Structure 1
């Protein structure tokens, strides 16, 4: 495959510790019970708004949701990459792969650049799309097709690498092959249920299959 499109959280990085801390700082301000890292792992995948909505345990209060989201983003931007880490073998494998690379994440774009730079992998990606960059986010195929078009690659010559059903479903809809890592978040579900083309259990194995 000529173009490799990567998810971020749960695929390249484990961001749960920093996200959990930002959520709990937010909830402390609002007088809401804290959440655990295990809970946050199951809440991730559909962007910041849905993350906070799930963490609020479906209180169904839109005013509270808006306030919590605003406070959360402020806390998170101030500690976006303190405890966040690369999964084993990510940096070394990215360096080995000669393919063109892009990131399509549902994480707000405003947080992506600092994370990539702090972890020393920003130079590997020619394009990054965040959850609020386009009118639709994964599992819509739009972000993947947009990247293919802008970078000059046909979908059939591209592959999506991610940890969740959002990545696999978006790839299928876009006519793009999918490689799933089984160590990520995916709401506690087994990625094989969604029938990716390939499943790997270590990021280093990506170099063997692309």
Structure 2
């Protein structure tokens, strides 16, 4: 069995508009100054409390901020997102080719399911692996562990490939011995992509990398 683990934010879905709006709303509610534009462009992907802590918030402040952010997202912020061109068709082709496909996202499970359903991905996915919106399963490594353990899949880099756009996708997969393809249309940097086994700059290039990975496995 060949398994693809797919990140959502920055890989399948361009969710930055909604995440940024929720992030800035959270800072305003906490009376916290806005960081610069460069920082704001990098907030999609990691758990929100991690991003808030990186601004200098205490753990208690970051947890309070997370609740504000989740409330904003529940009230409709999740919908301010669209799929990246070409990715739905690619996931469809992978499924038709017989690959097993699961998400491994730091997005909350409920929000992930809503946007993946609206954008047409849900019928092509075998499992929705996501973070808990308000629970201990928050890091990418913990999400991947949940995906593997729930499905009884062995963490074997020859059978499983991760596709993501940020360093936490790469390090989270590496913690389980899984290689990552970094995609450059998301929110990462060349320095982050350089730590992945492969980098794809277009969905067509990603399809080729996955094809070669499958061929190498025989």
TM over 0.5: yes
1:182-201 maps to which residues of 2 (within 5 A)?
182-186=184-188, 188-194=189-195, 196-201=196-201
Cα distance in structure 2, aligned partners of 1:144 and 1:27? 30
Give the C-alpha shift of residue 78 in structure 1: 1.5
Cα distance in structure 2, aligned partners of 1:34 and 1:11? 26
1:59-138 maps to which residues of 2 (within 5 A)?
60-98=57-95, 99-132=99-132, 135=137, 137-138=139-140
Give the C-alpha shift of residue 85 in structure 1: 1.3
- What residue number does 1:42 align with? 42
- What residue number does 1:205 align with? 205
Structure 1 counterpart of 2:160, from 142, 158, 161: 158
Gaps of 5+ in 2: 211-218
1:5-64 alpha-carbon deviations (Å, 9 max, x no partner): 00111111111110111122233333333456642332333312113333xx21x34443
- TM-score normalized with structure 2 length: 0.80
Cα distance in structure 2, aligned partners of 1:149 and 1:20? 32
Q: 2:42 is paired with a residue of what secondary structure?
A: helix
Q: 1:169 is paired with a residue of what secondary structure?
A: helix
Q: 1:190 is paired with a residue of what secondary structure?
A: helix
Decide whether the 8 Å contact of 2:19 with 2:44 is kept in 1.
no
- What residue number does 1:23 align with? 23
Q: CA RMSD in A?
A: 2.5
Give the C-alpha shift of residue 177 in structure 1: 2.7
Give the C-alpha shift of residue 189 in structure 1: 4.7
Q: 2:106 is paired with a residue of what secondary structure?
A: coil
Gaps of 5+ in 1: none
Distance 1:27 1:181, change over 3 A: same
The number of aligned residues is: 203
Distance 1:158 1:134, change over 3 A: farther
Q: 1:171 is paired with a residue of what secondary structure?
A: helix
1:101-148 alpha-carbon deviations (Å, 9 max, x no partner): 00111222232111111212111212122233765622x3x5435424
Distance 1:191 1:125, change over 3 A: same
